[in-house]
Chains A and B, each alone.
Chain A
Amino acid sequence: MTSFTYMKVFTGQNGTSPQTLNLNPIPPNALALIAMGFPSVGPSVTGIAVATAGATGTFIRLNSMNGGGRTGELWLGYNFVGYPSSFVVTWSGGGSCQINETYLIADADLTVAPNVNAATPTAGTSTTLNSGSVTPVLGDLLIAFGIWASATGSSARVSTGNIFAPSTLNEHNANVTNVSMLAGPANVAVASSLQWTIPSVAWLGMALSLTFAAPPAPVPAFVYKGRDTAIADAGTVP
């Protein structure tokens, strides 16, 4: 069973393509969730690249949705090497984009892509935005992602099934598009969804569960001894 721990929710940013994200250095055992919202139907994210010299990482699109004059895309970054802290997001179709970033750390093999199980995105105009339901495998990472046609944020969020951790809430807006994302571990294998309370506007929502590979084999470590001549530490490295 994979364990996940909160790492960092960023404040998000807005701008035109390409957008550079300067964030905290991300360690190899962390994954990045990048949620994007466009105030039109048509733009498409073409890629996210590591821009830190000497560092690498892999980004994949988890899912996308459009309707009601809005487009949403959710991307995952993994397999980070060299503590990257700068990323460039590019998209086609023009316009501005609201970009929200969240880091989580995972007890899993993050050198390979996870299996992605995504519910069909939902759309509506009521005051309750529903992510749709997804049934995870025990130990999955659950993600709820929603966008709506308003600069007003959500006033409440209710989890069904597993809990989408409130500490991972990343909700920001620009261009009259609100982008909201929460994540959480799947402690039980039951249908899970999230319901936001929002203004009565056009909205889109989706839920996903990601199944990560088991942790990789241990790698060698050494203990740097401040007193390496002592009997107790003789024979250790260095």
Chain B
Amino acid sequence: MPNWYGEFDSTPANIVADLKARILNSTNWANISGGSGNVMSATTVDGAQMVVDLADAGATSRQIQMGIYRTYTAGAGTDKLTRYLCWHTITGSTADLLHATLSVGQDHLFFYIEGPRGGEPNADDATWGSARQCFFIGRLVPYFTGEPNPVVVSLANNVSLSSQSQPLVYVSRNRANTSSWVPARMGTLTIPNAQTNAPWFSANRIAAGDSNTYLWPYVVIEEAAGLRGRLAKAFFAGLWAPGSAIGTPQDFPPQVYQRLVYNAENYIIVLPHRCTTTTFQSRSAFGWADNSSTGEPGMASPAIAVPTQ
């Protein structure tokens, strides 16, 4: 099948193999390193190559290290970007229980990995569990002609063992087609807010005007060239803030796990982040939703819609 979505448990010792097996559930992806190699690749409808080496370095008890390449042929990659995904603030064990969710298709790869939950062995916090960080690579739909099509965007943690994901995304080629992996930011429709402690809330995405559910696009804005386009296969579905104040302003929690059909393709709404303490924030370019101050750390996250079968 082209699109595949699933939730599964793993361990640090098995996570690379488990991710690989799930990615290959999509008929658009292949193991281009062959055999026991871990270099996974697909070509977008625009002809861009997405390449992810799941084991740029061996997985540890705390993280995986990935190599992202703009192109990859004959066993060698070009223009490498190194990214990490970390689930522990403690050392933990390679036998720890990990909880993962993965969505994959011709134009994207998304997954998150969460460390042991509350009550499970080696959880960062016995009550609130461990961190959840996400990785995404996918097609960018350009807004202008003359783009050096195709381009792809990726985002994840750019620092080894870091507790915070980076707010930037990286576009595989700049608009002038002279540089690779140029930094960009993502914008979407949400509450205008530049105040640290302002109440933040979600808007109702069900329009009474036509009874339809609306998602917002993630618009990619390159730092040098400005507006470039939008993500093809991930959409903003609101902010998840269970610890927020009751009543004013009114909050409309996203319908997490809801299945939606958009452009004849099925989507599911997921929460890509989770953190357990103030040192492990719920941040990525998908959104910053820092831990609640009301005694429920780590439960805040942006909600995003990604493809499912």
Give me the interface of A with B, judged by CB distance under 8 Å.
1, 3, 5-9, 22-30, 83, 85, 103, 105-108, 159, 163-167, 169, 184, 187, 215-227, 230-233, 236
Contacts and interface: CB of A to CB of B under 8 A. Distances in A.
A201 B299 CA distance: 35
Contact of A218 (B129, B141, B256, B259): B259
Contacts of B141: 232-233
A85 B128 CA distance: 25
Given A24-B251, A166-B126, A232-B141, A221 B260 contact: yes
Interface of B: 7, 9, 117-120, 126-129, 141-145, 189, 204, 212-217, 219, 227, 229-230, 235, 242-244, 246-247, 250-263, 266-267, 271, 296, 299, 305
Contacts of B230: 232-233
Given A5-B271, A163-B119, A221 B189 contact: no
A22 B251 CA distance: 13
Contacts of B254: 27
A220 B143 contact: no
B70 to A, nearest CB: 21
Contacts of A3: 7, 257
Nearest to B276: A167
Given A1-B7, A22-B247, A166-B118, 6 more contacts: A83-B204, A105-B256, A105-B257, A225-B217, A227-B227, A232-B142
Contact of B143 (A108, A167, A227): A227
Contact of A222 (B7, B119, B212): B212
8 contacts: A22-B246, A24-B244, A83-B204, A167-B117, A217-B259, A221-B262, A232-B141, A232-B230
A85 B253 CA distance: 12
B257 A215 contact: yes
Contact of A8 (B216, B242, B255, B271): B242
